[in-house]
């Protein structure tokens, strides 16, 4: 649908919900800033609210819900929706960040690890459970982000949180990689799930790849990359 520049500008002020496929290596903050810069240029507003409904780590790709203008009031509603992820765990090694952002600190032999053990292991992670977030996270303690403590080498007490894994499927096993798909509640750290999964097998594991496929009824298949979104907006303007 084509809109005049004035109509396009007003739509961002009134509020829009944008689905964006975040590229690998981008932080959620970078993606929001990319959109915000272009929204401000189109709307000719020096200040306009733009925010996202749920962080994705730089090493993850996939769906970000970005809200503009008055729709930013709905962000908490979207954050509360279940998330669907696909990705892979790498068995036999751990990292301090629980993913590939940091170097391997411990390695383990994969001897004795069978497909049967891996499939059986996943069952204990289904349903409601207590999960410890990674020390390398943006969660705050005493006004300071946890990853700041971690980078300073300081130990900090981490409070577990209640999360729920609604569905957890092992799609393929190509050791050391285990490919999965899962649906989980708000607040679930898939990095922590990877770490706990390896710990339960006594061989260690970390998150090798992650893609957010869906948030509630919103699917990444409907989401353009930031650059493709920009081209769509240009094409929509009369």
> What residues contact residue 233 under an 8 Å CB cut-off, 6+ apart?
8, 38, 42
- C-alpha 138/C-alpha 54 separation (Å) is 12
Burial degree of 26 (CB within 10 A; 0-12, 13-18, 19+): buried
Residues 181, 28: Cα–Cα separation, whole Å: 22
Cα 138 to Cα 100: distance, rounded to the nearest angstrom: 17
Q: Catalytic residue among 57, 105, 142, 196, which?
A: 57
Taking CB atoms within 8 Å and a gap of at least 24, the contacts of 154-162 are 158/132, 158/133, 160/130, 160/131, 160/132, 161/130, 161/131, 161/133, 161/187, 162/128, 162/129, 162/130, 162/131, 162/187
The Cα–Cα gap between 95 and 97 comes to 5
- What is the Rg, in whole angstroms, of the alpha carbon atoms belonging to the chain? 20
Does residue 105 have an active-site annotation? Answer: no
Tokens 């292991």 label which residue?
A: 121
Beta bridge partners of 90: 177, 206
User: Which residues carry out catalysis?
Assistant: 57
């Amino acid at each position: 649908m084509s809109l005049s520049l004035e109509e396009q500008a007003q739509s961002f002020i009134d509020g829009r919900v944008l689905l964006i496929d975040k590229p690998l290596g981008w932080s959620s903050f970078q993606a929001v800033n990319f959109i915000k810069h272009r929204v401000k240029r189109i709307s000719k507003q020096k200040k306009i609210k733009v925010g996202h409904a749920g962080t994705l780590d730089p090493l993850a790709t996939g769906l970000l819900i970005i809200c503009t203008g008055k729709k930013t009031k709905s962000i908490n509603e979207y954050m509360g929706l279940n998330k669907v992820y696909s990705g892979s765990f790498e068995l036999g090694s751990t990292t301090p960040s629980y993913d590939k952002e940091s170097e391997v600190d411990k390695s383990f032999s994969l001897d004795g690890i069978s497909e049967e053990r891996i499939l059986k292991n996943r069952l204990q992670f289904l349903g409601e459970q207590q999960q410890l977030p990674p020390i390398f996270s943006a969660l705050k303690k005493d006004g300071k982000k946890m990853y700041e403590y971690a980078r300073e080498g300081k130990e900090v007490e981490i409070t577990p949180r209640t999360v729920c894994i609604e569905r957890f499927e092992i799609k393929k096993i190509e050791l050391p990689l285990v490919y999965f798909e899962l649906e989980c509640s708000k607040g679930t750290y898939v990095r922590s799930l990877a770490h706990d999964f390896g710990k339960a097998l006594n061989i260690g594991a970390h998150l090798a790849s992650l893609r957010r496929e869906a948030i509630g009824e919103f699917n990444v298949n409907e989401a353009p990359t930031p650059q493709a979104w920009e081209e769509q907006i240009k094409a929509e303007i009369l």
